Structure 1
Amino acid sequence: MCESNGYDFIASKLKENLDLKKSPVAIKFVLREKDIPEGIPKVDEALRHCELVQKASKGDVFYATVEEQKCKGGAAALGLMDAPEKIKTGEFYYELGRFSGLGSAKKTMESIPKVDPIMYALLYAPLDKATFDPDVIVLIVNPAQAMKLSQALVYTMGGRVEVDFAGIQSICADAVAGPFTRRQPNITLGCSGSRGYADIKEDEVIVGLTGENIGCVVNALENMS
């Protein structure tokens, strides 16, 4: 098992080895209100999950319940609520022109990773300020940095990095719900929502890592360098 040396140290090594411009973001799922750590405030505005990740990458620490999640499709993928019917059936994305028919829209929505059971909130923090053990760590990177992370993921055990995305519900489902439920990292190319509302740049991709193996990733990056 790889040992963690503290999240501030891990964050500094990720920034150093990858030349990151944005802080990695620690995310933790909270099942009950009483499990919110003391001293972490509720976010003071309603934003989309992708916007909340960007907010945390700039230094803010907070938690958000379903009431503070502006995108209900994302909130549903994250286990904070049941999916609205038009999102569950794919009708919402079909009407946006993302699919040729309801069948392909429904098939895609059925395959998108979702968290169950219903959660109370998500904690967000830049990794170097995290006072909790993150379930998922999200990095907003360029393709070259994603390549280095991919190399780090196979450094010890070998194999291949398998990615799973559909260009829909990217930072919520692909980068957080997927790694949380499957216990596997994922790389995703963003979606219209995250690029339109959360300022994900054209040359940026998103990586979701599982919290329990982040020490191994850092060790691999150190050895590779």
Structure 2
Amino acid sequence: MKTDYGTISEKMKDKLGLERSPVAVKLVLREEDLPKGIERISEPARHCEMVMKASRGEMFYALAEDQECKGGAGAIGADEMPEKVKTGEFYYELGRFSSFPAAKRTLDLIPKIDLRFYAVVYAPLEKIEFDPDVIIVVCNPAQALRLVQALVYTKGGRARGDFAGIQSICADAVAGPYMRGEANITLACSGSRQYSDIKEDELIVGLTAENIDCIIEALEEMA
């Protein structure tokens, strides 16, 4: 049975009190797999900017040359990872780490998707007619708390918050859930907060689309 993402998005907004739309992200391996009827983004932008555009209602796909932040694109398999980002040199030279080994250790632990995709589709969840790989929720801490409670409602356990303050909306919110098959909470990063309109009191939750029905059921059943 086809999943009704419009209803899912409406319920998420209602139960969580979201101001923004949840964002559907689909990583398209081959050109022929690109969903029909979706236009290419009109101008290059960073992955984080594209996510926020989709949260405001825009729907589009992006090719490698449309991804302005190559580190972010490399994390999600949309382009090749720049060598200096991969090694940690880039962030060490930015002054984010006290030593090159500290930068290298951190970059080695950041999730990355080891595939090269043809395109990435970004859309508000309520508009899609395809199955997304990841659903990104931009929310405040109270809304994130409710979402975490829904994640553990059925089987219990603990929610993951795995981040290092860099490559947040790309590696933490897309690559992590995609590769691990579980949700991840992240605080955004300096780049995403500089270039997109994430508010100071907002954070990011990356969800796998595979269990989104269970999350909605939990939100409806929780006291």
TM-score range, shorter chain: over 0.9
Q: Does 1:13 align with 2:11?
A: yes
Aligned residues: 223
Where do residues 55-204 of structure 1 align in structure 2 (5 Å cutoff)? 55-204=53-202
Mapped to 2, the partners of 1:147 and 1:132 lie a distance apart of: 28
TM-score of the superposed pair, with normalisation by structure 1: 0.97
Match of 1:55, SS state, is: helix
Q: Do residues 25 (structure 1) and 23 (structure 2) align?
A: yes
Aligned match of 2:44: 46
In structure 2, what is the Cα distance between the partners aligned to 1:102 and 1:5?
47
Structure 2: tracts of 5 or more residues without a match: none
- Residue-by-residue CA offset, 1:143-170 (whole Å, 9 max, x unaligned): 0000000000000000111221000000
Give every structure 1 segment of 4 or more consecutive aligned residues whose post-TM-superposition deviation is greater than 2 Å.
none
Query: If the length of structure 2 is used for normalisation, what is the TM-score?
Result: 0.98
Contact in 2 for aligned 1:46/1:68 (Cα 8 Å): yes
Identity %: 62
Alpha-carbon separation, structure 2, partners of 1:201 and 1:94: 27
CA drift at 1:85: 1.1
State the alpha-carbon separation in 2 of the partners of residues 59 and 73 from structure 1. 25
CA–CA separation in structure 1 for the residues paired with 2:140 and 2:111: 24
Structure 2 counterpart of 1:208, one-letter code: G
SS class of match (1:158): coil
Shift of 1:5: 4.9
SS at match of 1:137: strand
| Separation in 1, partners of 2:39, 2:156 | 41
